């Protein structure tokens, strides 16, 4: 049997990194295929947390699975070194004693993961009252093996409207947290209050280059303009994406500080994207065009309006929007198109 060059094998398998069933089969082809296949299989691991904090059997099953994963990484550390993305699914606030047990279990996994760059959480639970972060009992087994702040995250996503985002923000600032997020480049948030956006941007905004926000429409409806000046915390931001719930007054509030000569905040954005589910032609786009035509926003390269409509409607929608935005259309900065990514895959690094 002819042996393929290792470089070609690596290239083939890199294109299959999201296809674990195929990678598992490739690992059986030959010795040269094992390690490259494993790099793809373990590139992303998802920890599916118990669906109920009141189900002892469910929690016990999770902890046993967690222990098996830790044992595998301890026996074969090269597998742990392949992990670049860590996802926590179904994390819910509730019983603080159970939270402490679960977080300690998560921490025992993380102690093996020194190369993680991307962290995300998914939660479909309803809103709950925030509560303190439990103390983690990991000084002896964890800190010695994996120093605090030793894992530098590059990208992070929080998806879900519960108290999970402020909970993890508090955890990241906790003295025992293994993750360092001060140099985060990409952050995507789904949150239900403006205060959470402000708190997390105050903590990590300085080095962000890509920010995606999916914020409850009620936040924008009831928040004063002064609470929407998020961009003052992100001096190096190049790409801003809003999803579904932004409005023209919100855009004006976001960019208003850059028009105040006494503030002297430099406009950082190069690419501004709005994803709209419906009624895109009912927006007052002319106001945005007049705003972005001002010299303060000369650095902006593209204004992307992504509309989730059927293809036959897109031509008419594009024509109507372009008529309202003569400056951006004439300067070739305006792009009206269907979203490039599905609603569930909204962590986009399209400009990074």
CB 230 within 8 A of CB 254: yes
Pairing of strands 118-122, 85-89: parallel
Look at residue 29 in the predicted model and tell me its pLDDT.
53
CB atoms within 10 A of CB 140: 8
Tell me the pLDDT of the chain (352 aa) as tens digits. 445 445 544 544 455 556 556 655 555 555 555 666 677 777 788 888 776 666 788 888 888 888 998 998 888 888 888 888 888 777 665 666 777 787 778 878 887 887 888 787 765 544 444 444 444 444 443 444 555 566 788 998 887 655 567 777 777 887 777 788 888 999 988 877 777 888 889 989 999 999 998 876 555 555 555 567 788 889 899 999 988 666 778 888 888 888 888 877 778 899 999 888 777 777 889 999 999 999 989 999 999 998 877 766 788 888 999 999 999 999 999 999 888 655 445 444 443 3
* Same domain (yes/no): 102, 34: no
CB 93 within 8 A of CB 162: yes
Look at residue 144 in the predicted model and tell me its pLDDT.
45
121's torsion region: left (phi>0), alpha (psi -120 to 50) or beta?
A: beta
What's the number of CA atoms in the CB half-sphere (13 Å) around residue 180? 12
Query: Does the residue 255 lie in any domain?
Result: yes
Query: Does the residue 166 lie in any domain?
Result: yes
* Same domain (yes/no): 284, 303: yes
Using a 10 angstrom Cβ sphere, with 0-12 exposed, 13-18 middle and 19 or more buried, the burial of residue 169 is buried
* Same domain (yes/no): 68, 35: no
In terms of residue numbers, what domain contains 213? 45-337
Look at residue 5 in the predicted model and tell me its pLDDT.
47
Tokens read off for 85? 């993305």
* Same domain (yes/no): 67, 28: no
Query: Does the residue 346 lie in any domain?
Result: no
CB 116 within 8 A of CB 78: no
How many domains, the chain? 2
* Same domain (yes/no): 245, 304: yes
* Same domain (yes/no): 226, 256: yes
Query: Does the residue 329 lie in any domain?
Result: yes
* Same domain (yes/no): 280, 139: yes
Pairing of strands 210-215, 239-243: parallel
* Same domain (yes/no): 28, 70: no
- Render 213-258 in DSSP notation, one character per residue: EEE-HHHHHHS-GGG--GGGG-TT--EEEEES---HHHHHHHHGGG
Look at residue 24 in the predicted model and tell me its pLDDT.
54
Query: Does the residue 78 lie in any domain?
Result: yes
Look at residue 297 in the predicted model and tell me its pLDDT.
92
CB atoms within 10 A of CB 180: 14
CB atoms within 10 A of CB 129: 6
d(CA 241, CA 209): 11
Query: Does the residue 265 lie in any domain?
Result: yes
* Same domain (yes/no): 32, 60: no
User: In this structure, what are the phi and psi dihedrals at residue 118, rounded to the nearest 5 degrees?
Assistant: -130, 130
Q: How does DSSP classify residue 159? A: E
* Same domain (yes/no): 33, 162: no
d(CA 177, CA 149): 7
CB burial string 305-335: b at 16+ within 10 A, e below? bbbebeeeeeeebbeebbebbebbbeeebbe
Please choose, from the candidates 273, 270, 293, 284, the residue with its C-alpha nearest in 3D space to the C-alpha of residue 337: 273
Look at residue 331 in the predicted model and tell me its pLDDT.
96
Query: Does the residue 347 lie in any domain?
Result: no
CATH number at residue 249: 3.80.10
Query: Does the residue 123 lie in any domain?
Result: yes
* Same domain (yes/no): 163, 120: yes
* Same domain (yes/no): 194, 114: yes
CB 183 within 8 A of CB 207: yes
């Amino acid at each position: 049997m002819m042996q393929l060059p290792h470089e070609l094998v690596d290239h083939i398998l890199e294109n299959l990194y999201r296809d674990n069933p195929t990678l598992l089969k490739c690992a059986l082809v030959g010795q040269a295929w094992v390690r490259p296949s494993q790099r793809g299989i373990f590139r992303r691991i998802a920890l599916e947390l118990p669906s109920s904090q009141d189900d002892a059997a469910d929690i016990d099953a999770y902890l046993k699975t967690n222990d098996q994963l830790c044992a595998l990484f301890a026996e074969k550390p090269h597998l742990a070194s392949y992990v670049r993305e860590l996802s926590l699914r179904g994390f819910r606030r509730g019983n603080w004693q159970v939270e402490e047990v679960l977080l300690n279990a998560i921490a025992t996994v993380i102690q093996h993961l020194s190369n993680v760059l991307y962290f995300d959480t998914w939660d479909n639970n309803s809103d709950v009252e925030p509560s303190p972060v439990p103390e983690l009992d990991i000084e002896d087994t964890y800190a010695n093996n994996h120093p605090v702040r030793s894992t530098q995250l590059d990208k992070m996503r929080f998806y879900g409207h519960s108290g999970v985002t402020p909970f993890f923000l508090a955890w990241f600032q906790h003295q025992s947290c293994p993750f360092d997020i001060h140099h985060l480049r990409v952050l995507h948030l789904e949150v239900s209050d403006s205060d959470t956006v402000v708190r997390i941007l105050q903590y990590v905004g300085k080095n962000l280059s890509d920010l995606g926000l999916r914020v409850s429409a009620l936040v924008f409806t009831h928040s004063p303009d002064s609470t929407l000046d998020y961009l003052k915390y992100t001096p190096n931001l190049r790409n801003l994406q809003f999803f579904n719930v932004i409005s023209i007054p919100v855009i004006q509030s976001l960019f208003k500080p850059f028009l105040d000569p006494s503030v002297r905040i430099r406009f950082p954005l190069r690419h501004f994207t709005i994803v709209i589910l419906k009624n895109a032609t009912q927006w007052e786009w002319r106001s945005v065009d007049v705003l972005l035509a001002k010299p303060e926003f000369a650095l902006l390269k593209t204004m992307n309006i992504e509309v989730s409509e059927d293809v036959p409607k897109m031509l008419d929608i594009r024509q109507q929007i372009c008529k309202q935005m003569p400056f951006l259309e004439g300067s070739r900065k305006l792009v009206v198109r269907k979203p490039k990514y599905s609603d569930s895959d909204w962590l986009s690094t399209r400009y990074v």
